[in-house]
Amino acid sequence: MDILLQILQAISFLFHGILKNLAIGGIPILMMMRYRSANGDAQAYYRTLAQDMGRLMPMVLGLAVVFGLMNWAVVRWQYEWTLLPIWGSSLISWLGLLLLLVIGFGGMVWLRRAHAETPGLQWMIACLVIICMILIAGLFVSSHINMPMLSNSAGNDERLVESAALLSTFWPRLLHTVCSGLAITGVALAIYGSLRPQSREDHQKDPAPYDIRLVRFGVGWALAGTVPQVVVGPWFMLALPAQVRVHLIEGTSVVSLIFFLSLTLTLLSLVLLNSSLMIPQKRGLVWGGVGSLILTTVLMVLIREEVRNVWLLSLGERIHAAPLSWPVVIVVLGIAGAGLYLGCRCVTLSHKAVATR
């Protein structure tokens, strides 16, 4: 039963984390697509991409919230936490954010229609979009911090002091979330580009069996989100309690082994992605770098769950979760791989259906 709960918890948070990162990272990338569709070459190309991505963004954000609630339900079941204060505060926060988004984007539409030629309008819209991105990222991060802090510290001053250590991780978590969003969205674009046939104009200039322009665009954003984590990662590590850090680097547990494996895979992905920028015709380099980042993401989800368990144990909480085991790691990796294969297969079949029309 413990293994099934661990698998369900890891899978629900994995999908929640990926969709959340796509929603957060997709905001500035979509803004860049809008800019490229109005300036520079290949305006029609980026305009089509921006339209397709804009249709998907609300659905991605909605699914991220749904899987996040599923993960909370599993956590409540596993840890026996009383989450009523969290439901109220989170509901108010999400309603406030939704109101801000409606007002903000409604204002954007009005400005574009009434003052289309106003100087600086694009910069105003860009600032609004970035503020919305930071609000969404901050709300996701604070929700995960408040979950253990509010449910375990009510009415206990000593527990409030102990749980306040969670707040020290807010800024590294926020930067990690934003950078991960850029990296994951870049990975998704690179995968989509490697499965998408090349346009006729691009094929005449630089022949390839797939969309090199989109692959380069996605790989660039993946690197933009991965490289800063060389600094953000150690900062986040130092913000963790000493007991949690020792558990990650002691070298004998399952979580410690996959922690060092994820670091190695991250370095490998940086090398392969940089190589794929120079030689984008080699699809193996693209898939090698992208695959390493995806595998790192799945392993980091498992590490995150174990870090939370060890942290709660250090606070004296009673939890029912068993230590991370290899069967859980293998099953979660298998489910993630199957989901990636099915997604790629659907994209390939959709392109074939469009080509035969």
Q: Per-residue pLDDT for 40 more than 60?
A: yes
Tokens 């397709």 locate to 52
Q: Is 265 exposed, middle or buried (0-12, 13-18, 19+ CB in 10 A)?
A: buried
Q: Say what the pLDDT of residue 103 is.
A: 67
Question: Three-state DSSP class for 282?
Answer: coil
- What does the DSSP 8-state code read for residue 155? T
Residue 222's pLDDT band (cuts 50, 70, 90): very high
- Which residues, 6 or more positions from 120, have their beta carbon under 8 angstroms from its beta carbon? none
Where are the domains positioned within the chain? 2-355
Q: Per-residue pLDDT for 104 more than 80?
A: no
Mean pLDDT of 1-21: 84
Region of residue 155 (phi > 0: left; psi between -120 and 50: alpha; otherwise: beta): left
Q: Say what the pLDDT of residue 335 is.
A: 93
**What span, in angstroms and rounded, lies between the C-alpha atoms of 193 and 26?**
16
Q: Say what the pLDDT of residue 83 is.
A: 47
Q: Say what the pLDDT of residue 256 is.
A: 92
Which of 249-253, 268-272, 312-316 tops mean pLDDT? 268-272
**What span, in angstroms and rounded, lies between the C-alpha atoms of 257 and 326?**
11
Q: Say what the pLDDT of residue 108 is.
A: 63
Residue 355's pLDDT band (cuts 50, 70, 90): low
Tokens 């900062």 locate to 235
Span 237-247, pLDDT tens digits:
888 878 888 88
Q: Per-residue pLDDT for 261 more than 50?
A: yes
Confidence (pTM): 0.84
Q: Say what the pLDDT of residue 330 is.
A: 94
- Select from 72, 69, 91 the least CA-distant residue to 81: 72
pLDDT > 70 in the chain, percent:
72
- Is residue 183 within 8 Å of 226, Cβ to Cβ? yes
Mean pLDDT of 92-106: 65
Span 146-158, pLDDT tens digits:
555 544 544 454 5
- Is residue 131 within 8 Å of 141, Cβ to Cβ? no
Q: Say what the pLDDT of residue 252 is.
A: 85
- Which residues, 6 or more positions from 313, have their beta carbon under 8 angstroms from its beta carbon? 319
Mean pLDDT of 242-270: 90
Span 51-74, pLDDT tens digits:
888 788 878 877 887 887 787 777
Residue 338: C-alpha distances to residues 9, 12, 202 (Å): 18, 15, 32
Rounded to the nearest 5 degrees, what angle is found at the Cα of 175, between the Cα atoms of 291 and 228?
Answer: 55
Q: Say what the pLDDT of residue 188 is.
A: 93
Residue 210's pLDDT band (cuts 50, 70, 90): confident
> Distance from CA of residue 82 to its chain's centroid?
27
Residue 122's pLDDT band (cuts 50, 70, 90): low
Residue 334's pLDDT band (cuts 50, 70, 90): very high
